[in-house]
Amino acid sequence: MQILFIYFMISSEIYWFPLSIEMAQEEGSSSVSSSPLQMFSMMSLSPGLGSPYPWLREMKSEERGLCLIHLLVVCANHVSSGSIENANVSLEYISHLASPVGDTMQRIAAYFTEALADRVLKGWPGLHKALNSTKITCVADEILVHKLFFEFCPFLKLSYVITNQAILETMEEEKVVHIIDLNSFEPTQWVTLLQALSARPQGPPHLRITGIHEQKEVLDQMAHRLNAEAEKLDVPFQFHPVVCRLENLDTESLRVKTGEAVAISSVLQLHTLLAVDDEMLQNKTANAAHLQRVLQMNTHTLGEFLESPDSASSSPKFSASSHKMISFLNALWGLSPKLMVVTEQESNHNGLSLMDRIMEALNFYAALFDCLESTVPRASIERQKIEKMLFGEEIRNIIACEGVERKKRHEKLDKWISRLELAGFGKVPFSYHVMLQARRLLQSYNYHGYKIKEENGCFMICWQDQPLFSVSAWRFRQYR
C-alpha cells in the first residue's frame, strides 16, 4: 500500500489529504480508499437516502472539499481503468456537490468531471462529435481570456517584468536589437520596454520586434499600438509580424540579420511543441525503428531522444521529447540569441499515465483556482471566463486528449534545464536587480500570497509556497 499525500489549498487554508492507494497488479486499476473519509464514501451517498441528499446542503465548505477530492480520485481511477459504469455512478454523486459558481473545490470538481466525462465519451466518437457539433472556437474569446488572466493574476505581468529587465541588462551596450516574441498578443510588455529603452542614458537602440501569432488581426493591433508608442518616444522601431502557428514556424521568416543582438521571449509556449503521437511512440515496433534511426544520428540527439518526459513513470523511455521540439530548439540556437527568457508552467502534465496527470493537474489547478478565489468575487463573470475558457480547457486537454491533440504538456524546470542545455543553450542567472523589479511589482499591485523564489539562478513564481510558474534565462553557447 502506498500512502500519497496531496497538498491542497482551499480558500487559502492548507489541507493535507492522505489517500491510501492500493496499487493493483495491472496499471490503471488501482483502487483508492481514504480512511478519514469513510463517512463520505459511497454508502452514505447511496441513492437509497433519496435525492437530493438533504444533508449535503448542510455540509461545510471544507468537508465538501475533502469529499469532492475523494470522489474525484475515485472517479479518475474508474475512468483510467475503463470502468465506465462505475465512472457514471461517481460522476452522478459529484454532480450533487460540484458547481462552476461555488467555492474553489466545487469549481475544480465541475471542470475535472467535465474533462473526465469528455474522455469517456471519446470512446464513442459519434456521440462525442454530435455533442461537439455546434461548439464554436472563437479566437477573439481566446485572446480575451488571456487578457483577463493577465489582468487578474500577476503571473504574466511578472514574467514580462522579469523578461524585460533581463533584456535591458543584456542589451545595455547594443545599438541594434531584435526581439522575437513567440506568442505576440499583449502589447503592454513591449510598450514598457520601449519606455525603458528611450530613457537609456546612451540613447535607445534600433529596435525590431518580430511577433509570432496565428491571427493576423492580433498582430495588426500589436503593430498599431507599438508603432504609435515608438513614434511618441522617438525610438527607431520596426514591428515585423509573422502570421503562423509556432509548430510551423520557419526561422528563415524571422529575417534575423547579421549584426543584430537577438533576444527571444517565450511565455507559456515551448511545451506545445512536445505534442507527439504517443500511440506511435508507444508502439514497440515503431520504437525499434525509431531507435535504429536515432542511433545513426549524433550522440547529442540520442541523449535528447532518450530523455523521458516522465522519469517517475515506468513506461518506455522512448516517448522522449518530440522531434519537433528538438528541431525547433536547434533552429533557435542557430539564431545565436544573446538572450532567451523562457516562462513555463511548473507542473508535470506530460506523464504517460492518466492517473499521474490527473493528480498533478488537481494539485496545480487547485492552486490557480485558489488564486482567483482569494482576489475575485465568486459571482464575477470574468473569473468564470478565466476558469472555464482557460483553466477548464487546459484541464480538458490534459485529461481528455491524447497524441498530437494533447498540447498542454507542461513540464517542470529541471526538464527544461536539461533539454535546453542539450540544445546548446547556457543558463544565465538573473541579477539581483531583476528580482528587485519583480518584488516591486508584487508590492505595487498589493498582491498577497504570491512569492518569488530563486532556484538554480532561475525564478519560481509561487502561490503561497507552491511554485506555479518558472522563469529561466538562456544564451547561445558556442560549443554544444
Ligand X SMILES: *[C@@H]1O[C@H](CO)[C@@H](O)[C@H](O)[C@H]1NC(C)=O
Binding site for ligand X (CB under 6 A): 47, 85, 88-89, 92, 129, 132, 135, 137, 279-280, 283, 285-286
Would you call 226 exposed, middle or buried from its count of C-beta atoms within 10 A (0-12, 13-18, 19+)? Answer: buried
Shortest spacing between CB 276 and ligand X, in angstroms: 12
Shorter beta-carbon distance to ligand X: residue 88 or 456 = 88
Shorter beta-carbon distance to ligand X: residue 148 or 281 = 281
Shortest spacing between CB 132 and ligand X, in angstroms: 4
What distance in Å separates the CA atoms of residue 47 and residue 44, rounded to the nearest whole number?
9
Instruction: Name the pairing type of β-strands 261-267 and 176-181.
Output: parallel
Shorter beta-carbon distance to ligand X: residue 18 or 47 = 47
Shortest spacing between CB 47 and ligand X, in angstroms: 6
- 167-200 residues labelled b (16+ CB within 10 A) or e (exposed): bbebbeebeebbbbbbbbbbbebbbebbeebbee
Shorter beta-carbon distance to ligand X: residue 31 or 132 = 132
The DSSP 8-state label assigned to residue 122 in this structure reads T
Shortest spacing between CB 85 and ligand X, in angstroms: 5
Shortest spacing between CB 129 and ligand X, in angstroms: 5
Shorter beta-carbon distance to ligand X: residue 286 or 376 = 286
3-state helix, strand, coil in the chain (%, to 5): 50, 15, 30
Q: Which phi and psi angles does 177 have, rounded to 5°?
A: -120, 135
Shortest spacing between CB 259 and ligand X, in angstroms: 43
Of 324, 421, 336, 372, which Cα lies nearest the Cα of 154?
Answer: 372
Q: Are residues 31 and 48 in contact, defined by beta-carbon separation less than 8 angstroms?
A: no
Given the C-alpha cell 502557428, which residue does it identify? 245
What distance in Å separates the CA atoms of residue 235 and residue 204, rounded to the nearest whole number?
6
Shorter beta-carbon distance to ligand X: residue 89 or 158 = 89
What distance in Å separates the CA atoms of residue 435 and residue 241, rounded to the nearest whole number?
31
Shorter beta-carbon distance to ligand X: residue 129 or 255 = 129
Shortest spacing between CB 139 and ligand X, in angstroms: 11
Shorter beta-carbon distance to ligand X: residue 92 or 220 = 92
DSSP string, 264-299: EEEES-GGGGG---HHHHH-HHHHHHHHHHHHTS-H
3-state helix/strand/coil string of 370-427 = HHHHHHCCCCCHHHHHHHHHHHHHHHHHHHHCCHHHCCCCCCCHHHHHHHHHHCCEEE
Cross-strand bridge partners of residue 210: 180, 240
Shorter beta-carbon distance to ligand X: residue 169 or 278 = 278
Shortest spacing between CB 242 and ligand X, in angstroms: 23
Shortest spacing between CB 274 and ligand X, in angstroms: 18
